[in-house]
Amino acid sequence: MHPEDCAAVGLGDGEKARIGNAQGSVVVHTRPFDGLQRGVVVVESIWPNAAFVEGNGINTLISAEPGPPRGGAVIHDTAVWIRPA
């Protein structure tokens, strides 16, 4: 997360953040990083569910809605809210 976004929601380096949307929520560790725009959040790769703090992996937040014109997983198209966990 952008350092200014981290500051805005009260998250410091290494602190636990809860990320969620209508699908559910997951807990990850925060890393302030200025190599992205404000408002953008990156959670890299797909790790086992068990590797996450609460046992729920990042795909919890991904919609199964198909993209047009013939389907496809919309993995990078995921709006979320964030707050300290």
Partner 1 sequence: MPLDIVHSSCPHDCPSCCALEVERIDAHTIGRVRGAKENTYTCGVICAKVARYAERVHHPGRLKTPLRRVGEKGVGIEAFEPIGWDEALDEVAGRFKDIAAEYGSEAVWPFFYAGTMGFVQRDGIERLRHVMKYSRQHSTICSALSNAGWLAGIGLARGSDSREMANADLIVSWGTNPVATQVNVMHHVSEAKRNRGAKLAVVDPYRTATAEKADYHLMLRPGTDGALACAIMHVLFAEGLADREYLAKYTDAPDELEAHLKSRGPDWAAGITGLSTEEIVEFARAIGRTPKTFFRLGYGFSRSRNGAANLFSVSCIPAVSGAWQHKGGGALYSNSQLYGLDLSLITGLDAVDKSTRLLDQSRIGPILTGSGNDLGDGPPVKALLIQNTNPVMVMPDTTSVRNGFARDDLFTCVHEQFMTETAAMADIVLPATTFLEHEDFYIGNGHTHIQVVKPVIEPVGESRPNHDVICGLAKRLGAQHRGFEMSAWELVDATLKASGHPDAETIHAAHWLDCAEPFEEMNFLNGFPTPDGKFRFKPDWSSIGSDHARMPKMPDHHRLRKRRKSDRRC
Interacting residue with partner 1 among 3, 18, 21, 23 (CB under 8 A): 23
Interacting residue with partner 1 among 46, 53, 81, 84 (CB under 8 A): 46
Q: Does 67 bind partner 1 (CB under 8 A)?
A: yes
Q: Does 42 bind partner 1 (CB under 8 A)?
A: yes
CB 51 within 8 A of CB 39: no
Q: Does 8 bind partner 1 (CB under 8 A)?
A: no
Q: Does 62 bind partner 1 (CB under 8 A)?
A: yes
Q: Does 14 bind partner 1 (CB under 8 A)?
A: no
Q: Does 63 bind partner 1 (CB under 8 A)?
A: yes
